[in-house]
Structure 1
Amino acid sequence: MKPLLVFLVSTAWAFTRGQYYYQELMNYLENRMLAIEDRMELWNEQTHRYHSELKEFKKLTAETMNALGKDHSLLLKDLEGAAARVDHVEREMDYLETQTAPRACANKADKVLEQGAWSVEESRTDEEEEEDWEEVRARVSDCVDILSSIRSVKILKRVGSPKGMWIRDPRSSKVYVFNGTRGHSIYQFSSVLDFSSSPGVNHSRQIQLPSVWMGPGSTVYNGYLYYIQQEAGTEVQVVKYDLLSGSVTDTAMFPVESHAPVYTLNPETTADLAADDEGLWLLYANSDSEPNINLAKMDPATLDIEEMWDTRCPRENAEAAFIVCGTVYVVYNTRLASRSRVQCVFDVNDMVLSEEAPLLYFPRRYGAHASLKYSPEEKQLYAWDDGYQILYRLTMKRKLLV
């Protein structure tokens, strides 16, 4: 009987203790649930507040964007009006410059008159007339064209580096592109149309030259490429390259004491080769201390220097130059690129009157010309301006040599 009593008491004690732990567990779980409910309620309140604030912010943002859109439209209209006014002012400036432009810095002793405008102002002796006729017979250029104006401008495309050069070979109509200021290769296109329609210079025939070309001062003449070469530690050379056979046919040492740039605004141009109706020319600077641009007439077959001149055209603020009928036209600008202008003219025959030397302004474009190459057959310039390839069609007038 006693063991049974002990068992019953133990069982009752265990049951009572289990009920106590169960009740404690339930209380703990209930407290945890209350805490979770409180947090959920707080989260709901915060979410509602954030949602309200977000709606208010969205409303303010929409109002601000609408106001900005209206301001942008007004600003765009103002800018369009300003652009129209600037274009109108530039056209008026171009007109005024052609009517009242100051004279270019041509040689005072020049003696070329426009046809129909020549008159004898003073009597001459027979000896003076004979001397004048002697000068005419000994003149370097027989061409009678002088630049009158820029007739039209065509922006062909933009491809390549900010500085470079492009030119058309009149014999084959092929176009050659020199991208950058130096390199081993050039790019050939079959025509100007092919070049304008191409997506880039890489979609063309690439010609690997035997040496590095330096600066945008190359030219093409009678099927030959003439370019400037300067290897490390060596003298500057003029190289004649046969575009048909793909070989160098001749080289000549550069006739200067130092490697001074010919144009201060384009220091990469150590020398500038040009071709016109009269042949091959070389523009260069004798030294860093030399203030003026020098000119040399070259034999295109042998690269011999036939004659040399001091053009009296300053190198300072010069950006490029081109030659038409033996007359050098130097184009000037400013350090902060502005309007390019022909401000100095030099004729190898010393026969361009100061009054007749045109001071021409190029239409305002992008920056400054890295190169200007004249095509005698087309009477136009192939220009490279801040990566843009531009064609300037020129108007010529005839002159009488007296």
Structure 2
Amino acid sequence: MIISVFRCEMELTQVNSISVFLHILCLIRYSQTARECLYEYDMKNNRVKITCGKGAVLHIVDQNGNTLLTGETSMSTADSPVVFQLNRSSISSLNDEAHKATKKLSDASKLLRKVREDLTLQINNLINLTSLLQRGDDELKKDLFTLRNHELTSPLVREAIIAALQNQYNFLRMGLLSQNTQMNELIRTTMRLTTSIMKTARGARGVGEILDLRADVMNETLFNITKLMPGGFEHGAFFGEKTVFCPQELKKISKKGTSVTTGVEQGTIMIDSHTPDKIWVMYGYININEVIEYNSLKGLKFEQVDKTYELPFSCVGTGHVVYKQVLYCQKMFTNKIVKYSLAESRWLGERQLDNVGVHDTFPYQSGKHTDLDFAVDEKGLWLIYATNSSRGHIVVSKVNEEDLSFDNTWVTEVKKKTVGNAFIICGVLYAVDAFDKAPTYVKYVFDTNTANGRGLEPGDLPFVNSVSSDYARVYGLDYSPSDQALYSWNNGRIEIYPVSFLDENEP
């Protein structure tokens, strides 16, 4: 067995003033035909593309030598990409700084408990003093009543009453002074309580900031690592808290969907896998020049608009998407596709598609100018459409997000007008049988990875198509790789259906 070891070091990114240095260690494990990994440095984009032979194992470590990611290439395919996965042992090493902040939080919590005990004692003392003062007040009132109802015929009796009143006065005076002392102590303890709460809050913020920082660093690291691999997100994508790898074969669409009522019959909901905490909505299907941004589905439900974008053009249909905070749609009254940066609020470019059917030439069953349907999956940006040369059959093209050119194109065996809607997962097209039947099913699957398509029976991959299971008019259907769910626009309702995938280990 020949083992070749190569090492390279580069600075990939900077997050919150912390530079992330990655050391890439390649262990090539096969005999006779051992070859080095090929490192291609792209000066323009400041990134490295790594291609290794069969059986390569790569470890990515941080500046302290902790293994962050471990990846390997195929044992059977030459020049195969490296698929990285999180190293479980690295998780504990990422929590060191968080432990320090947690210690501060623990100390503040101890102080808070001590202050609580002191407050309890002082409150009990005040209660006891109040009770004693009440008794003293009652005794004083009794003596005054006696004084009013008896003649003072003897100096001795008079002196005894005066002495009793003096004792009651002294008792009340000492009680009030003690109560005042306890009140002052209570104020000081309350101030300590405020300080403790502030320390606790700072400790909690410290923990949150550290964890957020470590998550950001890991997220950015994984994002850059996927860009280093041949094909970029084709071989692995990091979305939020989960890493998604292709291929993934759709196994089931959940029968239990959730919904949000919009009150608008047609529209498009867009989830960007690179910013999954945002939701973008375009209402209507014609002459749309406004994009509404929400922070959550709850915000959408209660119409709590976060931001509104006015477009310098109008879109048509319901096949729009947002990818990397860039809107892609069909430009109204044209056969052009256009892109617009939501992050920068500016037009980025457009492309004319001369041979593509538009203006309800090859729409889905619903019509409504659904000729051009953008899609986003783990591999990037796609366009689903039909042409005269394809005789109305669905055509799938992988879209280059830079210039809107097509990197590759496939023609399927299913006519677009016979399909209710379609979506793409890991480069696989799934075409739904009907837009207005509940339930319906996925009737056709086309895999761009193998260029093979096949028809399905109603029981193979059913889809309820409506949360109410009684009425459906689905005008938009898209897959979101960030939360692995289908988002549909069903006659005034946004409906969300989680999906699950086949386990490769299943028999």
In structure 2, how many angstroms separate the alpha carbons of the residues matched to 1:374 and 1:365? 23
**Match of 2:318, as an amino acid?**
P
- Provide the secondary structure at the position in 1 that maps to 2:329: strand
Q: Distance in 1 between matches of 2:452 and 2:462?
A: 15
CA shift, 1:398, in A, is: 4.3
Matched residue type, 2:382: W
Shift of 1:162: 1.5
1:209 aligned residue: 311
Work out whether 1:248 is the aligned partner of 2:352. no
Cα deviation, residue 261, structure 1: 2.7
SS of the residue 2:301 aligns to = helix
Is the contact between residue 486 and residue 497 of structure 2 (CA under 8 Å) also seen in structure 1?
yes
- Matched residue, 1:69: none
* Whole-Å separation in 2 of the counterparts to 1:210 and 1:338: 38
* 1:308 and 2:412 correspond: no
Distance 1:351 1:283 in 2: 15
C-alpha distance 212-244 of structure 1, shift in aligned 2 (>3 A): same
Asked whether the equivalents of residues 141 and 348 of structure 1 are also in contact (C-alpha less than 8 Å), the reply is no
For the 8 Å contact 2:487–2:494, the answer to whether it is kept is yes
Q: 1:399 to 1:346 in 2, by over 3 A?
A: farther
Q: What amino acid is the match of 2:274?
A: R
1:355 to partner: Cα distance: 9.3
CA–CA distance in structure 1, aligned partners of residues 497 and 266 of structure 2:
18
Q: Which has the higher contact order (CA 8 A, sep 6+)?
A: 1
Distance 1:152 1:378, change over 3 A: farther
Say if 2:327 is the partner of 1:222.
no
Q: Secondary structure at the match of 1:195?
A: helix
Distance in 1 (CA, whole Å) between partners of 2:297 and 2:248 is: 25
**What is the CA distance between 1:255 and its match in structure 2?**
4.6
Quick one: structure 1 residues 328 and 279, their matched pair in 2 at CA, closer, same or farther if it must change by over 3 Å? Answer: same
Contact 1:144/1:398 (CA < 8 Å) preserved in 2? Answer: no
| Shift in alpha-carbon separation, 1:332–1:305, aligned structure 2, 3 A | same
- SS at 2:502 equivalent: strand
Is 1:313–1:346's contact at 8 Å kept on the other side of the alignment?
no
Number of residue pairs matched?
Answer: 262
1:177 partner amino acid: V
In the alignment, which of 157, 168, 174 is matched to residue 260 of structure 2?
157
Q: Is the 8 A contact 1:258 1:288 kept in 2?
A: no
How much does 1:339 deviate? 2.6
**Per-residue CA shift, 1:88-137, capped at 9, x if unaligned?**
xxxxxxxxxxxxxxxxxxxxxxxxxxxxxxxxxxxxxxxxxxxx969999
In structure 2, which of residues 289, 298, 306 is the aligned counterpart of residue 193 of structure 1? 298
In 1, the alpha carbon distance for the partners of 2:503 and 2:402 equals: 29
Find the residue that maps to 1:374 and give its secondary structure.
strand
| Structure-to-structure mapping, 1:262-341, within 5 angstroms | 262-287=363-388, 290-333=391-434, 337-341=437-441
Contact 2:248 2:501 in 1 (8 A): yes
Aligned with 1:167 (options 270, 276, 292) = 270
Deviation per residue, 1:330-376 (Å, 9 max, x gap): 11217x64433211100002277859994323253531211111111
> Partner of 1:394 in structure 2?
499
Task: Measure how far apart 1:256 and its partner are.
Answer: 2.1
Partner of 2:336: 237
Distance 1:241 1:187 in 2: 14
CA contact (8 A) 1:185 1:209 kept: yes
- TM-aligned CA distance change 1:292 to 1:134, over 3 Å: farther
Root mean square deviation, CA, Å: 3.1
Q: What is the TM-score of this pair, normalised by structure 1?
A: 0.59
* Matching residue within 444, 454, 458 for 1:344: 444
Of structures 1 and 2, the larger Rg is shown by: 1
Using the TM superposition, name which of 265-274 and 324-333 deviates more: 265-274
Conserved in 2, the CA contact under 8 Å of 1:321 and 1:329?
A: yes
TM-score calculated relative to the size of structure 2: 0.47
- Determine what percentage of the aligned residue pairs are the same residue: 24
Counterpart for residue 359 of structure 1: 461
SS in 2 for 1:227: strand
SS in 2 for 1:256: coil
> How much has 1:186 moved relative to structure 2?
2.0
SS at match of 1:217: strand
Is the partner of 1:215 in helix, strand or coil? strand
Offset from partner CA, 1:119-157 (integer Å, 9 cap, x none): xxxxxxxxxxxxx96999999955110110013533322
Tell me how far apart the structure 2 counterparts of residues 289 and 244 of structure 1 sit (CA, whole Å): 37
Aligned partners of 1:257, 1:354: CA distance in 2, in Å? 24
Name structure 2 gaps, 5 residues minimum: 1-75, 82-229, 236-245
Following the alignment from structure 1 to structure 2, what is the Cα–Cα distance between the partners of residues 241 and 255? 21
* Structure 1 CA distance for aligned equivalents of residues 279 and 319 of structure 2: 15
Deviation at 1:168, TM superposition (A): 1.9
CA separation of 1:309 and 1:338: change in aligned 2, threshold 3 A? same
Query: What is aligned with 1:146?
Result: 249
CA deviation string 1:175-217 (max 9, x = no partner): 1111110211121112223213337xxx553211111101000
Supply the distance in 1 between the matched residues of 2:426 and 2:382 (Cα, whole angstroms): 11
